[in-house]
Amino acid sequence: MKVFIRTLIITFILCVVYHFYSGSHLIDGNGQIKKAPPEPAQKTPQEKPVAKKQKTDLPVVNKGVYGVSQSHENSARICMISKTGDFIFVKRIKTTDKLEETIRLLLKGATKEEKSKGIYSEIPTNAKLFWVRETKDKIIVNLSSEFAEGGGTQTVMARINQLSKTVKAEKKDLPVYLYINGKIVEYIGGDGVYLEQPLN
């Protein structure tokens, strides 16, 4: 009987001790049961915002004749001759809007690049422009005598066509008259070809 009572007392003490140590940390100073602290929320790894690529407008490069920008330039159409013998137009950059500059560009002949493609001019490179006179009803182009020298009839007439077509491309409605050394031309070239004026 004593053994039973002793066993019962020891069991009771163990239960009290167990209960004290297992639950005492859940009781606050006022004897109230503490609420278990909420479990820390697991942080969801956030994706870093991807910066939107801004559209970059590339500068537009406007290339003109032979790589020169024509945005602030005048251009002239110069009559040349193709390797097949046809009259064609090439472009040149002008610094002014004067017809005189256009004719000077014509007298310079074809460029190296054009020559490599078979484009040429029948106008002698030593021909010079003295002056250009423009009125409301006509244009007079005064050239040096070299313009009319050398070559046969076909060659000389090709020169006349180059000159008249170049002027007409810029001044469409005005008739063109050719002067050599200050005098109007009646016959031109070594063969003495009669030249009807105006040229166009």
Which is more confidently placed, 73 or 143? 143
Average pLDDT, the chain: 78
User: Residues 34-63: what's their mean pLDDT?
Assistant: 46
104-to-125, 132, 186 alpha-carbon distances in Å: 11, 10, 23
**Residues of the chain with pLDDT > 70: what percent?**
66
In the 8-state DSSP scheme, what is residue 135?
-
Which is more confidently placed, 36 or 143? 143
Burial of 78 (0-12, 13-18, 19+ CB in 10 A): buried
pLDDT digits (tens, 9 = 90+) for 35-49: 555 555 555 555 555
pTM of the predicted structure, to 2 decimals:
0.63
The answer to whether 165 and 173 are in contact (CB under 8 A) is no
The Cα–Cα gap between 131 and 100 comes to: 7
pLDDT at 164: 96
**Residues of the chain with pLDDT > 90: what percent?**
54
pLDDT at 141: 98
User: Residues 92-101: what's their mean pLDDT?
Assistant: 94
pLDDT at 40: 53
pLDDT at 62: 33
Q: Quick check: 178 pLDDT over 90?
A: yes
The Cα–Cα gap between 180 and 79 comes to: 20
- Name the phi and psi angles at 99, rounded to 5: -65, -30
User: Residues 104-120: what's their mean pLDDT?
Assistant: 96
pLDDT at 56: 33
**Confidence category of residue 2, pLDDT binned at 50, 70, 90:** low
Tokens matching residue 86: 């046809």
The Cα–Cα gap between 188 and 76 comes to: 27
167-to-16, 46, 101, 106, 140 alpha-carbon distances in Å: 123, 74, 11, 10, 10
pLDDT at 28: 54
pLDDT at 46: 57
User: Residues 155-183: what's their mean pLDDT?
Assistant: 94
- 151-157 — which CB contacts under 8 Å span 24+ positions? 151/122, 151/189, 151/190, 152/189, 152/190, 152/191, 153/189, 153/191, 153/193, 155/122, 155/189, 156/122, 156/188, 156/189, 156/191, 156/193, 157/193
pLDDT at 151: 82
**Confidence category of residue 78, pLDDT binned at 50, 70, 90:** very high
Nearest to 178 by CA among 156, 189, 165, 163: 163
